[in-house]
Amino acid sequence: MNADEDQARARAGDAVSAAALFAVDPQALGGVAIRALAGPVRDQWLALLRGWLPPERPWRRVPLNIADGRLLGGLDLSATLSAGRPIAERGLLAEADGGVVLLAMAERLSAGTVARLSAVLDDGELRLARDGIAGTVPARLGVVALDEGIEQDEQLAVPLLDRLAFRLDFDGLRKLDPEASGLDAASIAAARARLAQVELPEAVITALTATADLLGISSLRAVWLATRAARAAAALDGRDTVSDADGAIAARLVLAPRATRMPAAEPPPESAEPPPPSEQDDMPPSDQPPPPPPENESDRDEDAPPPIDLDQLLQEVLLAAATAAIPPGLLAQLKAGAQAGKARASGKSGALQKAAARGRPSGSRRGEPRAGQRLALIDTLRAAAPWQRLRRAEVERSRQNSSPAGRGAGVSDTAELQHPGPRVLVRREDFHVTRLEQRRETTTIFVVDASGSSALNRLAEAKGAVELLLADCYVRRDRVAVIGFRGATAELLLPPTRSLVRAKRSLAGLPGGGGTPLATALDAAIELADAIRRRGETPGLVLLTDGRANIGRDGKPGRVQAEADAIAAAKRLAASGHATLFVDTSPRPQPSAAKLAGDMRAVYLPLPFADARALSTAVKTVNTSGGKRG
């Protein structure tokens, strides 16, 4: 059996162990994050978990685009209209109390849904205050989050991921072998009954905390989840006290996937051996070290071994178990010094903005349908429903107090006889209009350095990189503009357009040579970006330069003044809030360029390491941010 098969067998065993531990204590352990596309292994794991859970425990599937009313509960509109009084509806989270919810395509959950799920996992209850309904309902549940992302930047939201004890990746697994674990529903039920009696020694808590610190895990919630997993492991093994092996299982399954750094190797102990006899013999008597002081014979036992630090030994065992279980992909990132998590990027361009007449619905608000706004009928009825009994009573009192002549010769009586069924009395304060939002059009401004230093080094490669970005902008239907700078001026080579041909033509005709008026180029880019923003669009700047300014704002040469002007322009760009990508076109990354990118709060990307995918992802991030930066 080769190393890959051993690793696959170990991962399959971890998946079965995680299912067993989660089935023992689903509410305390939070849940399981599974990164895998739909397939037989994932289906087998879900069937295994469901078979190990008590049959009376609810199992609810949460679709991706679930509405708040169905997720949280609120006003039951049809029942309220029939009864004439507020009738509450139980949401899906309340229905899953004591059981498990299954999140489909969890990597695409909205921030609002993630926040609500996180609050329920923290509190074990659902605080409801919407549609005139206020109260608290129990919602003690566990979560199985199915992460079906393909790209590395498609991952679960960090607040939700932090609350789930286990993280599994089924990539490359063909099947699970639950029979090898010797577990079944009966043993897990016995462990669930024993769990309350299991004690957790202080030494295990200390060792888990130290292990988390050595692995760079800053969240205290991870240590808490690891202690709960250790208790569940002890209960599964039929013991009332957590052992070292239980702590090792918890470190392997809970802490290892959260590691952000490799533990530093301890330096070798200093040698305390005396110098060789030959060297001592050569020393004069005055330079020879004094003999060690005599030991008290009563305090020395030549046959006794040196004392063993049990706490240190336990910590080393847990650290070794966690380090051995770090996933290979994460291990490669840690060895390279990369971050364990990556920022999520969206392929959609443009920032969201509120719209009146068109766009995607995003809830409703109180208001009258004026200026083309749409009436939110359901929300209007929902606002009017709780008041129907009071309003009907008010109308009845008004009818009884009015005279027949004042009722307009019995017109109201006739209408009441023709429509004996219940009516919905809607008033102006009940009106709700649909809130719409749409993405702004995005304009990517390419600011290209065509000075002598850039032309000598990387102008041809910079043009090639811009062409890659132009093609990507064309796919997203972004508008593009090109500013070239050389000599003493910066020139708008191409006003904002969607024509890819015009953009390539303007770029191909850009000559190289002359000084680097970087400050002037930044000023021109800021003015163009401000004009684009005033039109209600989202500007994004892509600056390709080596950052070596030598022409000041006044057009005169002088590196000192030119660099000072460039820094001032960079800080002005940072204050404007425009999202910026700084592509360093130097043959080697320059610290001065990285500092200048920091002054303008730009994403810094050295061109030698910027392949097509990295450039495309960086531009998507800049465009999606919509200028909302710190």
Going from N- to C-terminal start, the domains of the chain cover 3-197, 198-261+311-336, 353-403+423-437, 443-625
Model pLDDT, residue 166 = 95
167-193 mean pLDDT:
89
Look at residue 355 and tell me whether its pLDDT is greater than 70.
no
Work out the mean pLDDT of the chain and round it to a whole number: 77
Tokens (6 digits) for 593: 């360029």
Axis-axis angle for helices 220-236, 202-214 (nearest 10): 130
Look at residue 271 and tell me whether its pLDDT is greater than 60.
no
393-402 mean pLDDT:
78
Tokens (6 digits) for 32: 């399981």
pLDDT band of residue 376 (cuts 50, 70, 90) is confident
Torsion of CA 47, 48, 51, 54, to 10 degrees: -110
Instruction: For strands 100-103 and 59-62, give the pairing.
Output: parallel
| 356/351 Cα distance (integer angstroms) | 16
Residue 440, phi-psi category: left (phi > 0), alpha (psi -120 to 50), beta (remainder): beta
299-304 mean pLDDT:
49
500 close to 589: Cβ distance less than 8 angstroms: no
| 155/148 Cα distance (integer angstroms) | 8
361 close to 436: Cβ distance less than 8 angstroms: yes
Tokens 């009146």 correspond to 356
Model pLDDT, residue 411 = 41
415-433 mean pLDDT:
63
Q: Give kind and range of the element (H or E) at residue 273.
A: none
Answer with the residue of higher pLDDT: 348 or 489: 489
| 367/370 Cα distance (integer angstroms) | 8
| 212/217 Cα distance (integer angstroms) | 5
| 96/59 Cα distance (integer angstroms) | 7
pLDDT more than 90, % of the chain? 26
| 12/496 Cα distance (integer angstroms) | 54
Question: Residue 349's closest CA among 617, 542, 157?
Answer: 617
Q: CA geometry: angle at 273 spanning 271 and 274, to 5°?
A: 135
| 595/564 Cα distance (integer angstroms) | 13
167 close to 341: Cβ distance less than 8 angstroms: no
Tokens (6 digits) for 555: 């057009």
449 close to 482: Cβ distance less than 8 angstroms: no
| 374/395 Cα distance (integer angstroms) | 29
Tokens (6 digits) for 320: 């070794």
**Range with the poorest average pLDDT among 53-67, 118-132, 213-227, 572-586:** 118-132
The third-level CATH classification (topology) of the domain covering 198-261+311-336 is Helicase, Ruva Protein; domain 3 (1.10.8)
Buried b (16+ CB within 10 A) or exposed e, 507-534: beebebebbbbbbbbbbbbbebbeebbe
**Range with the poorest average pLDDT among 51-60, 170-179, 270-279, 438-447:** 270-279
Model pLDDT, residue 347 = 38
Q: In 478-602, at which residue ranges do the beta strands (DSSP E only) sit?
A: 479-486, 489-497, 538-545, 579-584
Buried b (16+ CB within 10 A) or exposed e, 109-129: beeebbebbbebbeeebbebe
Buried b (16+ CB within 10 A) or exposed e, 347-371: eebbbbeeeeeebeeeebeeeeeee
Give residues with Cβ within 8 angstroms of 331, minimum separation 6: 262
Q: In CATH terms, are 3-197 and 443-625 the same topology? A: yes
Q: What are phi and psi of 475, to 5 degrees?
A: -65, -40
Residue 325, phi-psi category: left (phi > 0), alpha (psi -120 to 50), beta (remainder): alpha
Torsional sign, CA 487, 490, 491, 492:
positive
Q: For residue 595, count other CB atoms closer than 10 A to its CB.
A: 13
Tokens 């229905």 correspond to 95
- Which DSSP state fits 241? B
Look at residue 352 and tell me whether its pLDDT is greater than 70.
no
The third-level CATH classification (topology) of the domain covering 3-197 is Rossmann fold (3.40.50)
For the chain, what's the residue count? 630
346 close to 25: Cβ distance less than 8 angstroms: no
Number of H helices, E strands in the chain: 25, 18
Answer with the residue of higher pLDDT: 469 or 219: 219
| 542/377 Cα distance (integer angstroms) | 45
**Range with the poorest average pLDDT among 342-356, 370-384, 558-572:** 342-356
Model pLDDT, residue 628 = 44
Question: Residue 141's closest CA among 34, 247, 75, 58?
Answer: 58
Model pLDDT, residue 281 = 47
| 209/200 Cα distance (integer angstroms) | 13
336-349 mean pLDDT:
41
Look at residue 608 and tell me whether its pLDDT is greater than 70.
no
Give residues with Cβ within 8 angstroms of 360, minimum separation 6: 436, 437, 438
Q: Give kind and range of the element (H or E) at residue 559.
A: helix 559-576
| 556/49 Cα distance (integer angstroms) | 73
| 611/507 Cα distance (integer angstroms) | 20
488-493 mean pLDDT:
86
Burial class (CB in 10 A: 0-12, 13-18, 19+), 102: buried
Q: Which of 62-71, 195-204, 430-439, 452-461 has the highest mean pLDDT?
A: 195-204
Question: Residue 94's closest CA among 115, 134, 124, 133?
Answer: 124
Question: Residue 260's closest CA among 331, 209, 206?
Answer: 331
415-422 mean pLDDT:
42
The third-level CATH classification (topology) of the domain covering 443-625 is Rossmann fold (3.40.50)
Question: Residue 617's closest CA among 152, 148, 52, 129?
Answer: 152
pLDDT band of residue 362 (cuts 50, 70, 90) is low
| 593/605 Cα distance (integer angstroms) | 10
Q: Give kind and range of the element (H or E) at residue 596.
A: helix 591-599
**Residue type, position 435, single letter:** R
**Residue type, position 565, single letter:** D
Model pLDDT, residue 620 = 57
